Amino acid sequence: MANLNISVSRLPSIIHNHVPVITTELLADVYETEIRNIQVNHSRNRERFIEGKHFFKLTGSNLKAFKDQLTQSKLVNVVNKRASHLTVWTERGAARHAKMLDTDRAWDVFEILEDNYFTKYRDTKQLVKGVPHNASTAELIALVDELQKVIHEGEFIPAGHALPEYSFPKTRKPRSRILEDFINNPKEDVLHQLVAWLKKDGHNMEDAERVLMHIRDCMMNMAKAINTIQTHAQYIDSTVSKLL
């Protein structure tokens, strides 16, 4: 792991809806990236971020109370005082941004945040006592997720969301068809399908795509060479048969 600034592990806790959160500005600062990169990644992947699970959008009285909390924690510089709305990120949101940035710094910092920041408030009693009578669906989902983190001791399984399943049962597809699909019909090829699904789920598959493309190009060139050899062989056979 890289040598990181010790201040990352000593960030004052910022709590919203009974869970630790981190602002966009602070997340960009510790991940050593631009604020715009965090915002753009969120904008381009909105379907992958669920409010109440990955982030909270603060407005009105909630925003005012949050700014007051920052003032008390002496963190007034981490948000724009004139902002009419604010997005703060949960542990899952911070993890998703680390995955999208995919830099050593982002992953190393997230490990420190995970061990020293987000875990501070994983107390089952606090979570149960903190459930308001008029809690919204998003608030309840966030609380259930935190409870599951305690139950599974860090092996996080989102409430109400099954883990992705990649199933490729054995088929009777002949070997010739397997090669044909790999070269000429990638959408029917299991390796191309798996890479596409992993990419859709937010994994960085650039190198895997590059390897598959290189292998596919080589196989296409081999197929062309074999076809050329077969054509020449047929021509030679035809010519020889005429001479006999």
pLDDT tens for each residue of 112-148: 888 778 876 554 445 445 555 555 666 666 666 665 5
Res 240: pLDDT: 83
219/134 same-domain check: no
Domain-embedded: residue 91: yes
Domain count across the chain? 2
| Residues 40, 145 within the same domain | yes
Residues 89, 97: contact at Cβ < 8 Å? yes
Predicted TM-score (pTM) of this structure? 0.49
Q: Is residue 167 part of a domain?
A: no
> Residue 143 sits in which domain range?
6-151
> 85 and 198 share a domain?
no
On whether residue 156 sits in a domain, the answer given is: no
Do 97 and 201 lie in a common domain? no
Name the stretches of the chain with pLDDT < 70.
1-10, 76-78, 120-168
Compute the distance between CA of residue 223 and CA of residue 7 in angstroms, rounded to an integer: 58
136 part of a folded domain: yes
Of 151, 166, 184, the domain-final residue: 151
C-alpha span between 243 and 144 (Å, rounded) = 85
The answer to whether residues 72 and 21 belong to one domain is: yes
| pLDDT for res 183 | 86
Residue 235 in domain: yes
Measure the CA–CA gap between 237 and 57, rounded to whole angstroms: 76
Which among 104, 136, 151 is the end of a domain? 151
Position 243 scores a pLDDT of 81
Determine the pLDDT at residue 81: 74
pLDDT value, residue 153: 43
Do residues 110 and 214 both lie within one domain? Answer: no
